[in-house]
Amino acid sequence: MTERVNVLFLIDYFHRTGGTEKHLAQLVQRLPRQIFKCSIVAFDLGANPLLDEVRDSGIPVIHVPVGREYVPNAWLRAVQLSKLLRTLQPDIVQTFHQKSDTYGALTARLSGVRHIVSSKRDTGALRAPHHFFLNRRLRSLFERVIVVADAVGSAVMTNDKIERTRIVRIYNGVDVQEFAPSTPAEAAESRRRLGISADDFVVGMVAGFRPEKNHDILFDGASRALAAIPSLKILAVGGGPLLDHYRRVAEAGPLHGRVVLTGEVRHVGPYLAAMDVGCLVSGSNEGFSNAVLEMMAAGLPMIVTDVGGNAEAVVQGDNGFVIPPLDAAALQRALVACHSDLSRRAAMGRRARQLVKEKFSLERMCDDHAKLYLSLCKPQRHTDEGP
């Protein structure tokens, strides 16, 4: 039997059920075990359901606690990481996030790892100038840079000065069976459980309550649309540091009694069943949203801001609307257009699901990663092993 390709994934933090953590958990569990041997090293690790799933599937998850990477203790942790890498002897190290892209990748190279791949998952709008400086100085460490959208690839070329020839676009993927459109009975039960009536027009957004997700725009645009859509309600799925703030905003403003805030949830499918339209109104930093793909797979027409790869998943007028960022009036107009034409809304939802099946399936995402890993390792192994 041919020796398996040993891939170690290095990630800054794995302590919540965010998009990157979910992506990584799905990838390591779905790569074919007869071909790939996977493990994960996290600098910041915390208990969460995704972590339990990964470990239960037999994938090792190892904690190497690294806080600030510019203090003496970080060098001790680098020695620990280096010893671990020399023991595990990965063929490929793939990095996620800033610390892994610099501190982690440099340690991997000094430990003798031959193939290092970076995974860039957003446009870098939240990074500090010194991050770009470090990325440019260390860019030669990476044989390939995976980007989740063409928009992210363009940002990486501009910010990190990575050549296009080293960039590989692999879109995020979603399980089209898990996020199948709901039946009328499932939709009715979901609404009943949430206190939403059958006649309400429900605008849904799945996103953590963080500044870059711009829930202010969601609330403002919905408030403006109330005159044309008296039955409008918001279903906001997610937790985060600003959840309590927006709970107070919802209670005090014109949307009083019209907003359902779920907090952190593990499975979003039952909540998608209650929605008429999905949206994501990020203002600046976005990659290629798993939440948008999940809503599309569920057969929802979409309203998204033209940020990151949103416009690569949502085609204006085809499966939804693409609006300028930070534009509550544009969101208002899109909501009114969705509400006013039920047949068009339904057609957009069908097209949204079809696009996911054609371009953004979980199987395709995993296959594309597998092909990349094999393309890096197989030629070298042939040289090492001889004819």
* Whole-prediction pTM: 0.91
What is the phi/psi pair of residue 70, to 5°?
Answer: -115, 25
Q: 34 or 18: which carries more pLDDT confidence?
A: 34
Same domain, residue pair 154 and 212: no
125 burial via Cβ count (<10 Å: 0-12, 13-18, 19+): middle
Average pLDDT over every residue of 186-208: 97
For the chain, the domain total comes to 2
Using 50, 70 and 90 to split pLDDT, how confident is the model at 292?
A: very high
Same domain, residue pair 265 and 336: yes
Average pLDDT over every residue of 29-52: 94
Residue 325 included in any domain: yes
Using 50, 70 and 90 to split pLDDT, how confident is the model at 71?
A: confident
Average pLDDT taken over every residue of the chain: 93
pLDDT at position 146, please? 98
Same domain, residue pair 328 and 190: yes
Same domain, residue pair 41 and 105: yes
- Domain ranges, residue 369: 5-173+361-385
Residue 73 included in any domain: yes
Q: What Rg, from alpha-carbon coordinates, does the chain have? A: 22
pLDDT at 363 over 70: yes
Q: Is 11 helix (H, G, I), strand (E, B) or coil?
A: strand
Per residue in 219-241, pLDDT (tens digit) is 999 999 999 999 999 999 999 99
- At a CB cut-off of 8 Å and minimum separation 6, what does 102 contact? 69, 131, 134, 135, 138
CATH value at residue 254: 3.40.50.2000
166 burial via Cβ count (<10 Å: 0-12, 13-18, 19+): middle
- Residue 242: other Cβ atoms inside 10 A: 17
Residue 179 included in any domain: no
Average pLDDT over every residue of 186-210: 96
Counting every residue written for the chain, the total comes to: 387
Same domain, residue pair 109 and 197: no
What crossing angle do the helices spanning 362-385 and 19-30 adopt, rounded to 10°? Answer: 60
Same domain, residue pair 322 and 375: no
pLDDT at position 382, please? 41
Which amino acid is residue 3, in one-letter code? E
Same domain, residue pair 289 and 355: yes
Same domain, residue pair 191 and 314: yes
Same domain, residue pair 205 and 288: yes
